[in-house]
């Protein structure tokens, strides 16, 4: 099976995305890109994560051509492809509908440095991209333009995208940023949270650059 390992990882992390509360139902999507093969493995559209099999994962070129697979790819495949076209450092991406990140995105504002873990986004905040209809070229353009060289972006009134050198890292970033979004929402409910200064976040970005294990 073409890109069998990547397909199996997408099935595994799709289930983790659901069980960890990063999405509900069939919402969200995830992908892996092989820069040597120039092929993207992406979750199928509308299939429950618990029922998804490796053969259901779709293999595509970045121009949208399906190379292998019989299922319809995620409706957000262009939003994944545009990242891989512009970011040579990215090999995995996850798009989530997590509750607290989506809550902040409904304010159409950035997630500030309420906790040093925001630095996992490789920035002093997680920026919020302007709203556009899901699955459209406009949303794909808004997301990559706003994210730039960072590892995450909020999508206004929608959710959050996280990227990394591999899917495992992208997933870990999504978990950490959802935690930060929850802290922010809860802190705003009882007062005004203290935001960490830019100087501290600069230090954290440097420290996180070599954090953890390499997959």
Provide the annotated active-site residues: 76
Q: What is the DSSP string of the chain?
A: -TTHHHHHHHHHHHHHHHHTTS--TT--EEEEEETTTTEEEEPBSS--TTT--GGGSEEE-TTS-EEE-SSPBPTTHHHHHHHHHH-TT--EEEEE--HHHHHHHHTT--B--SSGGGGGGSSSSB-EEPP--TTSHHHHHHHHHHHTTSSEEEETTTEEEEEESSHHHHHHHHHHHHHHHHHHHHHHHHS-PPPPPHHHHHHHHHHHTT-S---
Q: How many CA atoms lie within 13 A of 121 on its CB side?
A: 32
Inter-CA distances, 94 with 30, 165, 175, 187, 213, Å: 4, 12, 11, 26, 19
């Amino acid at each position: 099976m073409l890109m069998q390992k990547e397909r199996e990882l997408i099935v595994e992390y799709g289930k983790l995305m659901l069980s960890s509360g990063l999405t509900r139902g069939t919402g969200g999507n995830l992908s892996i890109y092989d820069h040597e093969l120039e092929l993207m493995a992406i979750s199928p559209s509308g299939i429950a994560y618990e029922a998804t099999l490796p053969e259901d994962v779709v293999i595509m070129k970045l121009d949208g051509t399906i190379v292998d697979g019989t299922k319809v790819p995620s409706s957000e495949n262009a939003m994944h492809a545009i990242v891989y076209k512009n970011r040579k450092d990215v090999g995995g991406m996850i798009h989530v509908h997590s509750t607290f990140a989506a809550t902040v995105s409904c304010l159409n504002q950035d997630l500030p440095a309420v906790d040093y873990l925001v630095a996992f986004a490789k920035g002093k905040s997680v920026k919020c991209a302007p709203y556009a209809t899901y699955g459209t070229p406009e949303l794909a353009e808004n997301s990559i333009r706003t994210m730039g060289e960072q590892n995450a972006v909020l999508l206004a009134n929608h959710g959050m995208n996280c990227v990394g050198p591999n899917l495992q890292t992208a997933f870990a970033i999504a978990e950490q940023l959802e935690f930060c979004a929850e802290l922010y929402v809860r802190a705003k409910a009882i007062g005004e949270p203290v935001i960490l200064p830019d100087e501290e976040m600069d230090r954290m970005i440097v420290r996180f650059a070599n954090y953890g294990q390499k997959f």
